[in-house]
Structure 1
Amino acid sequence: MAWVIMPDHFHWLIQLEQQTLAQLMQAIKSRSTLTINRALNESGAFWQTGYHDRAIRDGEDLLPFARYIVANPLRAGLVDKIGDYPLWDACWL
């Protein structure tokens, strides 16, 4: 629903359906590591172990969470306007 890729981490707002969060994170980290290592002609681990999550309760308004996620580059000083950062998207922003 919303995501941003930062220089050293990423944030996303997702709804789990058929996989657990642990399964999804393993798949994302594994596939992206293979792709990145191939592109850089490298090998080995790319992501740090573990991850941080926050569950959102049913009925909570998702828009503030999405805005927080896509504003990360602005808060990090990478851009002056959110729209200037190329590595983000949100389904309703």
Structure 2
Amino acid sequence: MSAPPRPTHSGTFLVTSVTYNRKRLFQVVANCELFLETLQHYRREGHYRLHDFVVMPEHVHLLLTPQNIPLERAVGYIKGGFSRRLHSKAPVWQRGFTDRRARNREEFLSFRQYIRMNPVEGRLCESAEDYKWSSAWKGWQRAVAG
């Protein structure tokens, strides 16, 4: 049975993508930096509005709003762009991704909190503001501006 078609209307989505075989690719600092560079590159090009993100050892969560392109294309830019920059001969990502559309402000804020607390729940840090690979990191706004 095939999946029902995704609605064609725009919106803001919580997107989750997992590395191939859950390889802990993002335990390597250089890979985290490269992923964030890729994420910001396509944001600056105007393909999506990036609200929040977190890079976990074997997956990423993004809260984004595609800008005049389908969600699949926005995620394709991110995943494909990172894979090309990584120059890996091995697969980098599991096929596809999961997404949930924020239907209202309450869901948007819930998704934001989920992303923010993911590294705390995963015991990677005690405070979300201390996790460098997240939009919750206390130095993130300075890093983007700089």
Class of the TM-score when normalised by the shorter of the 2 chains: 0.7 to 0.9
Gaps of 5+ in 1: none
* Alignment-derived partner of residue 117 in structure 2: 71
> Whose RCO is larger (CA < 8 A, sep 6+)?
1
Structure 2 CA distance, aligned partners of 1:4 and 1:45?
21
Shift of 1:64: 2.3
The Cα shift of 1:60 comes to 2.5
Name the CA distance, whole Å, in 1 between partners of 2:122 and 2:74: 27
Matches within 5 A, 1:48-67: 48-57=94-103, 59-61=104-106, 62-67=108-113
Structure 2 counterpart of 1:86:
132
Under a length normalisation based on structure 2, what TM-score does the superposition of the two structures give?
0.54
How many angstroms apart in 2 are the aligned matches of 1:4 and 1:82? 10
The whole-number CA distance in structure 1 between the counterparts of 2:127 and 2:105 is 27
Give the deviation of 1:73 after TM superposition.
0.4
TM-score by length of 1: 0.82
What RMSD over aligned residues (CA atoms) do the two structures have, in Å? 1.7
> Gaps (5+ residues) in structure 2?
1-50, 137-146
Distance 1:24 1:11 in 2: 14
Q: Please name the residue that 2:46 is paired with.
A: none
Deviations for 1:32-59, whole angstroms, at most 9, x for unmatched residues? 011122xxxx3232011011100111x4
Higher strand share: 2
Matches within 5 A, 1:1-93: 1-37=51-87, 42-57=88-103, 59-61=104-106, 62-89=108-135
